[in-house]
Each structure stands twice: as structure tokens, then as C-alpha cells.
């Protein structure tokens, strides 16, 4: 699981450099450096908690739902703190969603690689 977090973190930094979107001009509650799009917090939290939620889905749906709520709160907090635009967070979520779907499809087609 940690390999996926590391891969997404590296992809995030590459995307930030290629897109080079500046952070919001509003007075942030937290000072952040670097570029804005996509939100690394949104991407990494979606990968980490999304993967854990996937593994709990058949056994403990409440845990999965709580983890998705945590993912949502992390994204909202980045916008609230003024360090990301809403589109930065949504973009991070969409990329991570696509990445996780690819990983899960690959795992289902290659049972010997499956975590479950």
C-alpha cells in the first residue's frame, strides 16, 4: 500500500511542476510554498484511506464510509485554509480515483497480486 502512496506523491510533484499553477492570493491561515494544482493532501489521502476503505467494504461498511468522510474533510480543510482552490482538490481526487480504479482492476485480473 505504501508503494502506491509514494508513486502518487511523486506523480503529484511532477504534475505541480508541469502545470505550475500559483496558490490562491487570499490571506491563507497556513503558509504553503510551491504550486497549487493538484492538491497533494487530497491525492495522498484519497489513495491511502481509499485503499483501506476498499479492503473494509465487504466486512465493515461503516469504517469505509467514515474513511471517505475523512477524505472529504481533508479536502475541505485545504480549501478552508486558503492554500488550494476547489479545483485543486477535485483534480487531486479525480486523479487518485482513476489511479485506484486502475490498481483494483489490475489486482482483480491478477489474483496472485491481490491484497485481499
Kindly compute the dihedral angle of the four CA atoms of residues 98, 100, 101, 104, in this order, to the nearest 10 degrees: 160
CB 65 within 8 A of CB 55: no
110 included as an active-site residue? no
Of the candidates 55, 52, 47, the one whose C-alpha atom is nearest the C-alpha of residue 9 is 47
Catalytic residue among 16, 23, 78, 84: 84
- The string of DSSP codes covering 33-89 is -S--SSPHHHHHHHHHHHHHHHHHTTT-HHHHHHHHHHHHHHHHHHHHTTSS-HHHH
Q: Single out the catalytic residue among 15, 41, 42, 44.
A: 41
Residue 4 is among the residues annotated as catalytic for this protein: no
Residues with active-site annotation: 41, 84
Amino acid at each position: 500500500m505504501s508503494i502506491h502512496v509514494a508513486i502518487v506523491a511523486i506523480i503529484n510533484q511532477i504534475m505541480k511542476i508541469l502545470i505550475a499553477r500559483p496558490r490562491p492570493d487570499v490571506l491563507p491561515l497556513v503558509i504553503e510554498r510551491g504550486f497549487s494544482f493538484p492538491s497533494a493532501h487530497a491525492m495522498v489521502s484519497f489513495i491511502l484511506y481509499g485503499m483501506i476503505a476498499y479492503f473494509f467494504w465487504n466486512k465493515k461498511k461503516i469504517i469505509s464510509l467514515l474513511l471517505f468522510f475523512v477524505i472529504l474533510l481533508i479536502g475541505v480543510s485545504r480549501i478552508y485554509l486558503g492554500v488550494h482552490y476547489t479545483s485543486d482538490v477535485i483534480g487531486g481526487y479525480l486523479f487518485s480515483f482513476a489511479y485506484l480504479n486502475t490498481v483494483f482492476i489490475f489486482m482483480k485480473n491478477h489474483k496472485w497480486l491481490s491484497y485481499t
